[in-house]
Chain A
């Protein structure tokens, strides 16, 4: 307005200065952003206009803002880069909240740009106004509301710094529309350190020495590695492998850590926790020195805390000091980046003169071998062609046929039994190949996450292992697959039940299957076709391999509807409130079961 009354020369100056939206995009380019996952609306139209007039940054239009966040998570987790989301104010921002909390709990670096009503309307209940920083405060690592144009560039750079450093996480930048339109001063990413946020990455050498002395001197050592190793980059996974082999240590991974240690390696005991292997959980229970690197003693891992790894000397390496002594008190805390900790441990291992107790270690491996012989992931598949497909077998065949294809394969999942079967039976030898919603357990995560992975890796094989209930939570993203020709494969283990709910009802609620039957399901083959994808179905064992082979051969998105045993339960299982050595082993190993206590019944 003022510009109109100004001298002509000054008006020209005002219009030439870059708008907030343009400055924003320039900052994103500085941060190396190549892709944004988003959905437009009134408050962010200036950003969409600026996007339209450039070609460096690609925008992927999702079909729901929650999916934009999960897609950015898939992108981030499979590349190690910061995922970027753009949504409008009000409902755009509130739709993103589930995704933000998902990223917070799984430590995924994201920057989520949200539109906001102009600053002078904030607090007036304006159209599509939401208190976005208020609503997302507990769902983000940090958030910002940009109230002054001069703060815009620095705030965007800060947001990326906070998202990516320390324990990674989602950061929201709330952008009032007037800030996007008004001219703003550009600033390059600062070289000076952040005012207040300076996470410790280098471990304390004294703690490393104590840790190595304990681990090397252990009679029954155990390594428990989590998602922090993945977040620290592929080099950290390599170092984990080096340390484990150096000491011939047994190693388990958490759900978030799968791929950090190669599943095909003999030192790998499989995943631990509620649906972990017998050998991993028994070794956790029986070890005398436990080295946790990049995991957080989550309740799905520890089982009953008072009985968790009762006789072990505990070492805990974590980038986030608040994870240390949160659930489990430890003997040697080490704050630092997982890669830096592992590198220092390897150096200290070589420097430590005392030899390992090889006799005790050999005995420990014999004990582990006996637990392994229980074959806790075993299941029985009737091999006649018209037999009902066991879900575990379907995952096993999928894994074997993917392996045969020699293609770089990325797996995402939804949430439920299929997620656990995928974790148990699809073996990951490399990091960043496994995307799953661990901390929040968000149904509807897998399809958009797979889309995000495929955007980052256009030539890779990307498969969402899904349940028929979960897939419907973000099924609209089939449209995104079609629009961008993303050849994601959706492999539905269709048991016609919210299987995980059904399983808990069977075990804990007298088989009263309250509201857990997936009634009125769509015809997934037709559904695929209506979204311009291919639909396949396997009704029995005889059709399984053919469907998987066809799915892998099709150069485009596919839904493979795999009809599996409706009554199959996911074992082994540590019931809530039970200890690691009280696993339910399932029908293959009947007899050795833990009873569920009243206390356990109250746990989630």
Chain B
């Protein structure tokens, strides 16, 4: 087998599902039961009458494994469509994070400067803490968190990524 076939890549997979009970457990069970990774997972209803949900999964594997993940998802009964956004063309992937920094003095003002540079919003302030809201790629949020770590980083809450293809095409 060629090196390309063996090498790991990350994949952002979007799945449109019927909003029946147990559907999320089915998708998660498929990943755990077959030993696939889940790096990020988001789910929410996406149509007006809330009958369909969209699940976004970031996973990784060899080309063959990612093909398997797609095929396995596609054969679940409540699944309408599956797309590997990272393969099918350019796409946008965004995550939102709420990040709490606790402390005072120089670190406090430094964290505010970094937040400004990242265009993070301050959504809560006390004399001893900030909560920042930041939206962006996984990498951007990771970088922001790393910079805050020595400056009193106390708690992180992330949504996982929402993703969509660029251009006129739809799932």
Q: What residues of chain A have their CB less than 8 Å away from a CB belonging to chain B?
A: 133-134, 137-138, 141-143, 145, 147, 162, 166-167, 195-197, 320-322, 324-326, 329
B22-A137 in contact (CB<8A): yes
> How far is the CB of A195 from the nearest CB of chain B, in Å?
6
B87 within 8 A of A: no
Q: Which of A138, A141, A147, A326 contacts B77 (CB 8 A)?
A: A141
Q: Which of B18, B22, B29, B71 contacts A322 (CB 8 A)?
A: B71
Sorted nearest first, the 4 A-B pairs with minimum C-beta distance are A322-B71, A142-B77, A197-B77, A196-B80
B79-A196 in contact (CB<8A): yes
A145 to B21, CA, bound (A): 8
> How far is the CB of B53 from the nearest CB of chain A, in Å?
12
Q: Which of A143, A320, A329 contacts B75 (CB 8 A)?
A: A320
A321-B74 in contact (CB<8A): yes
A196 CB contacts on chain B under 8 angstroms: 17-18, 77-80
Q: Which of A134, A147, A195, A322 contacts B72 (CB 8 A)?
A: A322
> How far is the CB of A307 from the nearest CB of chain B, in Å?
13
A324 to B64, CA, bound (A): 10
B35 within 8 A of A: no
A133-B22 in contact (CB<8A): yes
B22 CB contacts on chain A under 8 angstroms: 133-134, 137, 143, 145
With both beta carbons as reference points, the residue of chain A lying nearest to B32 in the complex is identified as A138
The 20 listed contacts between A and B (C-beta, < 8 Å) are: A137-B22, A137-B25, A138-B29, A138-B33, A141-B77, A142-B77, A142-B78, A166-B75, A196-B77, A197-B78, A321-B71, A321-B74, A322-B68, A322-B75, A324-B71, A325-B68, A325-B71, A326-B68, A326-B71, A329-B5
A162 to B77, CA, bound (A): 8
A134 CB contacts on chain B under 8 angstroms: 22, 25
Given contacts A145-B21, A196-B18, contact A325 B64 (CB under 8 A): yes
With both beta carbons as reference points, the residue of chain B lying nearest to A197 in the complex is identified as B77
> How far is the CB of B17 from the nearest CB of chain A, in Å?
8
Which residues of B (80-134) have their CB < 8 Å from a CB of A? Answer: 80
A167 to B25, CA, bound (A): 22
A325 CB contacts on chain B under 8 angstroms: 64, 67-68, 71
A324 CB contacts on chain B under 8 angstroms: 71
A134 to B26, CA, bound (A): 9
B78 CB contacts on chain A under 8 angstroms: 142, 196-197
- Among B1, B17, B25, B75, find the residue whose CB has the most chain A CB atoms closer than 10 A: B75
A255 to B101, CA, bound (A): 63
Which residues of B (39-85) have their CB < 8 Å from a CB of A? Answer: 64, 67-68, 71-72, 74-80
> How far is the CB of B14 from the nearest CB of chain A, in Å?
15
Interface size class of B (residues with CB under 8 A): 20 to 34
With both beta carbons as reference points, the residue of chain B lying nearest to A199 in the complex is identified as B75
B1 CB contacts on chain A under 8 angstroms: 329
A145 to B25, CA, bound (A): 14
Given contacts A196-B18, A196-B78, A197-B77, contact A137 B71 (CB under 8 A): no
> How far is the CB of A194 from the nearest CB of chain B, in Å?
8
Determine chain A's interface SS by DSSP, over half rule. loop
B74 CB contacts on chain A under 8 angstroms: 321-322
- Among A142, A145, A196, A325, find the residue whose CB has the most chain B CB atoms closer than 10 A: A196
B75 CB contacts on chain A under 8 angstroms: 166-167, 320-322
> How far is the CB of A165 from the nearest CB of chain B, in Å?
10
With both beta carbons as reference points, the residue of chain A lying nearest to B51 in the complex is identified as A195
A72 to B68, CA, bound (A): 31
> How far is the CB of B143 from the nearest CB of chain A, in Å?
36
B29 CB contacts on chain A under 8 angstroms: 137-138
With both beta carbons as reference points, the residue of chain A lying nearest to B1 in the complex is identified as A329
B64 CB contacts on chain A under 8 angstroms: 325, 329
Apart from A145-B22, A322-B68, what are 17 other A-B pairs with CB-CB below 8 Å? A133-B22, A134-B22, A137-B22, A142-B76, A145-B21, A195-B18, A196-B79, A197-B77, A197-B78, A321-B71, A322-B71, A322-B74, A322-B75, A324-B71, A325-B67, A325-B71, A329-B64
A166 CB contacts on chain B under 8 angstroms: 75
A322 CB contacts on chain B under 8 angstroms: 68, 71-72, 74-75
B67 CB contacts on chain A under 8 angstroms: 325
> How far is the CB of A173 from the nearest CB of chain B, in Å?
13
> How far is the CB of A335 from the nearest CB of chain B, in Å?
10
A147 to B5, CA, bound (A): 46
A138 to B29, CA, bound (A): 7
B68 CB contacts on chain A under 8 angstroms: 322, 325-326
A166 to B75, CA, bound (A): 9
A320 to B22, CA, bound (A): 23
A325 to B68, CA, bound (A): 7
- Among B18, B26, B67, B77, find the residue whose CB has the most chain A CB atoms closer than 10 A: B77
A320 CB contacts on chain B under 8 angstroms: 75
> How far is the CB of B161 from the nearest CB of chain A, in Å?
24
A196 to B25, CA, bound (A): 18
